[in-house]
Amino acid sequence: MDRHPDLSLLSQFGRGGLSRGRNREIVRHLLARCQSCCRTLAARSLLPLHVWGGGARSASRLDYGAAFDQAWRETERRQAALNVEKSEAPELLRELLAQPLEHRRTLIANSPRYRTWAFCELLLDAAREWGFQEPVQAVDLSQLGVELAMRLAAAHYGEARLNDLRARAWAGLGNAQRIHSEFRDAEEAFAKAERLLKKGTGDPLEKAQILLLKSSWRGTQQRFRDAFRLLDRVMAIGRKCGDVQLCGKALIMRGFLVGAANDPEAAVRHLAEGIRKLDPISDPRLFMVAQHNLVLFLTESGRYEEAQGLLESARPLYHQVADQMGLLRLRWLEGKIAISLGRFPAAEETLRSVRKELIERDLGLDAALVTLDLAHIYAHQGRNAEVQRLAEEVIPLFQSRDIHREAIAALLVFHKAAELERVTLGLIRQVSNYLQETRTARGLRSREPR
């Protein structure tokens, strides 16, 4: 820096509230033996007086050993405080989740016990996990996470670091809103995340995580070119930082989005490459989701035996880390593969139970897709009366909140054809493909990579 930093910058530096780039500039300035700035920091208890040596000769330079000792002691103090926060966070989360939603907001707003960095991170993680099971709960928890992140004390944690956390919270909310089809709110949330990230520390890995979520959002909007550009940036960060796992996540997301753009063979290539870069021990859920999507796109590519073999090898991992929705999607995938292999009785039994559970969970669009899978079996066997019955049963699903007009129109075509006994395998495939595209556009196709 060619000139002295102003007092506000020095104060933020002393409290650890600046970005890495700004910190480096001020450190260089201080190491250039700027006595006035060091004395300013010392006068405000932001730099210990003993950092300066005695006498006229040493008054113009830092005693680096003492400075590093002081910095190390401060680091140890902060780490000890963070360890205490981490130990208390799980119990705080259990307390919070036991309360009604309205009371949760009151606690976040009024109770200092919840205003810790560790608890905020745990709350954001919990919100992300609920996104795989209950989108409404995920949105509620993500909103709480945003409220909490905005209330944390900048004087304690540092403004720049807090802006990183706040950006992460807003991006998590945007992702939850994307899954729940709150598209306008999701766009606003991601915009806020980007603005906060620009005021953060400049940590490239923080940026990469938000870019990953935003790429999924762009894919939901079917803006695939924009999504792939974002993933290119994530890959560049991963290579620069030597983060192989991050590169694997980017490839897995690209594979999913390429498949959503109707190129299952390319999806298989990207997913397989991404899986090779993952560490299944550090993130077994991501490994499971990636394998699930690989089996899905192998099936859609007509590679049924390969899909069956991979699914069998992945089955223990499902039972180890999957939640109820994950196990339900496993059974659905088993039914689809059984159809492809001509094992119709087993496929029918599996898909009937899956359809029943999806209806109970009010996942109407998914239930409609399983209905079409069942119709495929009946049409192939010439069971026209049962195809008509399925067409009648699918009508009440139109009331589900996650079926919009385009999906309704597609199902009405299927219903009318069933009435006229003109349902063909080709028609079922066309309607199913259209609903798949509709579900992908709404972020409902599968549990996507985090």
Each domain of the chain, given as residue ranges in start order, spans: 7-62, 203-319
So what's the pLDDT on residue 54?
40
| Number of C-beta neighbours around residue 95 at 10 A | 14
CATH number for the region 203-319 comes to: 1.25.40.10
Cα–Cα dist 307/397, whole Å: 30
So what's the pLDDT on residue 407?
65
Cα–Cα dist 38/50, whole Å: 12
Task: Give me 128's structure tokens.
Answer: 């992300």
Instruction: State pTM to two decimals.
Output: 0.73
Task: Give me 45's structure tokens.
Answer: 């208890």
Task: Give me 441's structure tokens.
Answer: 């556009």
> What SS3 class is residue 62?
strand
So what's the pLDDT on residue 70?
61
Residue 320 burial (10 A CB sphere; 0-12, 13-18, 19+): exposed
So what's the pLDDT on residue 113?
92
- Write down how long the chain is: 450
Type of residue found at 76: E
Asked if residues 368 and 403 have their Cβ atoms less than 8 Å apart, the reply is yes
Which ranges constitute the DSSP H helices of 199-323? 204-220, 224-241, 244-260, 264-277, 284-300, 304-321
- DSSP assigned state of 61: S
Residues of the chain under the 50 pLDDT cut: 49-62, 400-402, 442-450
What is the b/e burial string over 394-403, where b = at least 16 CB atoms within 10 angstroms of the residue's CB? Answer: beebeebebb
Task: Give me 199's structure tokens.
Answer: 């005021």
